[in-house]
Structure 1
Amino acid sequence: MRYAEDHKAQTHQRILHEAAARFRRDGIGATGLQPLMKALGLTHGGFYAHFKSKDDLVEKALRCAADQSAAVEKAPLPAETFIEKYLSAGHCAAPENGCPLPTMSSELGQRGQPSEITDEVIHRMLAKLEAGLPAGRQTSEQQDRDMCVMIMSSLVGAISLARSTKDPALAERILETTCAQLKQQIALV
């Protein structure tokens, strides 16, 4: 059976998209290559025609997840709106479609494999938050940058905690309280 000329490239993209979703939803360590390939109707052996190793896939899937997140977040948002969207029940419930930081950053750190792509995602998120801060604030650029680091850390931490709880009321409380407190911090300064 002959395949189309771009069959290998299309298969490569399918693997990347599925891995990016699974890594964000289940974590890197919990995502096995065999179940990943089986979910796509492919063989485990075929994996190595596309990637050198799982680490190679992790880096490329992280790039894919980062690019997917960037495509969703094109328009600049006020910081309050960004916070509300990030801490939404929808984002919390669908990690496979969301920001890769809550799931993947801690695992990459634990594996001793920090990534430049993680740095890019963090810098992009900080820039969006800074650009969305209300005008007329009586703060220095450095204070705004520091606040955005605190906001971003709180966002990622709150989503991670909310996703890890069994009690839906507790998850909701984590998201709502963090959202309210961050919005209050923006308004205070």
Structure 2
Amino acid sequence: MRYAEDHKAQTHQRILQEAASRFRRDGIGATGLQPLMKALGLTHGGFYAHFKSKDDLVEKALRCAVDQLAESRATKLSADRSAAAFIDLYLSPEHRAEPENGCPLPTMSSELGQRGQPSEITDELINQMLSALEAGAPTGTCDSDKSVMMMSALVGAVVLARSAKDPQLAERILQTTRQQLKQQISKA
């Protein structure tokens, strides 16, 4: 059976997209290579034709997740690049309920730190978020220290909301954080 010339590249991309989704939804440690490959109809041994190791996959899947997030954010915020719109999007019930489609920081950042494998891609994403907050805030309302605090609150609120069993508590965490952060950018 002959494959199309770009079959390997397409397979590589499918693995990356599935891994990016699973790492964001389930975490790095809980995502096994064998179940990942099986979900794609591929063999575990075939994994090594595409990646050197799971660590290699993690780094490339993180890049894929960041790229997907940037594309999604650009689409959803196309008309409104304000910090308030960014906060609303990040602290939305959809972002809480669909980690596989959202920001990798709430799920992956603590694991990368625990594994002793911080990533330059994580730094890049953090800096992108800080820039989005600073650029989208009214002039003089969000300096670099405030944007760090706000970004930390955004990520922390999503982590807490996802871990809450009670849906009302989860929504309260998101709503309260949203309101408080928006008040912060309205103050000079």
Q: Deviations over 1:76-135 (max 9, x none)?
A: 611111101100001110010011111111110011100000000001111111110113
Secondary structure (helix, strand or coil) at the match of 1:73 reads: helix
2:170 aligns to what?
171
Matches within 5 A, 1:113-132: 113-132=117-136
| Whole-angstrom CA distance in 2 between matches of 1:52 and 1:119 | 23
2:182 aligns to what?
183
1:19 aligns to what?
19
Q: How many residues align?
A: 184
Q: Deviations over 1:30-81 (max 9, x none)?
A: 0000110000000111001100100000000000001111112234611111
Q: Deviations over 1:130-168 (max 9, x none)?
A: 110113x3x6xxx61111111100000000110011111
Counterpart check, 1:84 vs 2:83:
no
Give the partner amino acid of 1:167: D
Q: After the TM superposition, which parts of structure 1 deviate over 2 Å for at least 4 consecutive aligned residues?
A: 73-76
Give the partner amino acid of 2:69: S
| Whole-angstrom CA distance in 2 between matches of 1:165 and 1:28 | 21
| Whole-angstrom CA distance in 1 between matches of 2:136 and 2:13 | 33
| Whole-angstrom CA distance in 1 between matches of 2:136 and 2:85 | 9
- What is the percentage of aligned positions where both structures have the same residue? 76
Give the partner amino acid of 1:131: A
Give the partner amino acid of 1:90: E
- Tell me the C-alpha RMSD between the 2 structures: 1.1
TM-score between the two structures when normalised by the length of structure 2 = 0.95
Give structure 1 stretches of 5+ with no counterpart: none
2:60 aligns to what?
60
Matches within 5 A, 1:34-45: 34-45=34-45
Give the partner amino acid of 1:174: I
Give the partner amino acid of 1:7: H
Give structure 2 stretches of 5+ with no counterpart: none
